[in-house]
Amino acid sequence: MIRKGKRDILGVMVDVVDYEAAVDAILDAAKSRRPFAATALAVHGVMTGALDPEQRFRLNEFDLVVPDGQPVRWALNLLHSAGLRERVYGPTLMLAVCDRCAKEGVPIYLYGSSSGVLALLSQRLVARFPALRIAGSQPSRFRKISAAEKAQIIDDIRGSGAGLVFAGLGCPRQEVWAYEFRGALSMPAIAVGAAFDFHAGTVPQAPNGMQRAGLEWLYRLAHEPRRLWRRYALLNPLYVAMIAAQSTHLVRFGKRGVSRPDHELNYG
């Protein structure tokens, strides 16, 4: 088991952690009914914090930030001699958490995506983990929500009996959601990105070889070019340049300030 604490990647504090330690931390918080925010960050997620001081504040308030993308793992190893042999991929982490929840009787809640994806996801998760109890689910509103709607969402999740909630709203909306809902839920809120679509079977995953080589972004770009081209064409080269600057100590990103958000975005 590896859990060596947080390290600075472009000002975003990422945990040096493996699957076993990440799952243990999440389940411990679930059993303790303790507020706990977790996310799996690839390059895009790290860059949202690197470029936005308010988002950097949110991410650095998370209890657990795992290195989802290979380039994030490589950066931890390059900058901090982390010695991580594998990333902690959000979709795989979700399955590992579901496995433990099924074995230990911890119900889960699914928040985000569409009702159709949630139905498929629920069916497939229960088929894979027959003992898993899905206490409830809600699709995203795909808009900002009112204070009354937020209160209702919190009541629904807490009242379901779930021990933790997975949020699949896309980056960075899901991280904002986990940050803003964390205190009221009294349970882990885990942002898992495209895991809902992958496990529902509505979006294909990159082959293992491309994942290991850090080329998952290229596979996703080929399948969703209109939605993703700006993200990868702009952010990937900038990430490499900024990592180079950090590695040569030209810039000390961890010394840059953060800005506490002065209002909630209320993504739903």
In this predicted structure, the answer to whether residue 98 has a pLDDT above a threshold of 90 is: yes
pLDDT at 207: 84
Q: What is the pLDDT of residue 250?
A: 87
pLDDT of residue 222: 76
Residue 2 in 3-state DSSP? coil
C-alpha 146/C-alpha 198 separation (Å) is 30
In this prediction, residue 214 has a pLDDT band, given cuts at 50, 70 and 90, of confident
How far, in Å, are 16, 29, 186 from residue 201 at the CA level?
A: 30, 29, 31
pLDDT at 203: 86
Backbone φ/ψ region at 258: left (φ over 0), alpha (ψ -120 to 50), beta: beta
Q: How many whole angstroms separate alpha carbon 165 and alpha carbon 191? A: 9
Percent helix / strand / coil, the chain, rounded to 5: 55, 15, 30
Give the model's confidence band at 143: pLDDT under 50 very low, under 70 low, under 90 confident, else very high: very high
Give pLDDT, residue 65. Answer: 98
Question: Taking residues 200-214, what's their average pLDDT?
Answer: 84
CA gap 251, 88 in Å, rounded: 27
The secondary structure of residue 68, as a DSSP letter, is: -
- With 90 as the cut, is the pLDDT of residue 169 above it? yes
Per DSSP, the three-state class of 243 is helix
Name the pTM for this structure.
0.94
Rounded mean pLDDT, 145-157 = 96
pLDDT(230) > 80: no
Q: Characterize the bridge pairing of strands 64-67 and 36-41.
A: parallel
Q: How confident is the model at residue 206 (pLDDT cuts 50, 70, 90)?
A: confident
- Pick the range with the lowest mean pLDDT from 82-86, 156-160, 224-228, 245-249: 224-228
Counting residues of the chain whose pLDDT is more than 70, the rounded percentage is: 100
Q: What is the pLDDT of residue 224?
A: 77
The yes-or-no verdict on residue 205 having pLDDT over 90 is no
Residue 64 vs residue 219, higher pLDDT: 64
Give the chain's mean pLDDT.
93
Judged against a pLDDT cut of 80, whether residue 220 lies above it is answered with no
Please state, in angstroms and rounded to a whole number, the distance separating the CA atoms of residues 45 and 42.
5
DSSP state of 144: B
pLDDT of residue 25: 98
Higher pLDDT: 87 or 212? It is 87
Is residue 118 a contact partner of residue 199, using CB atoms and an 8 Å limit? no
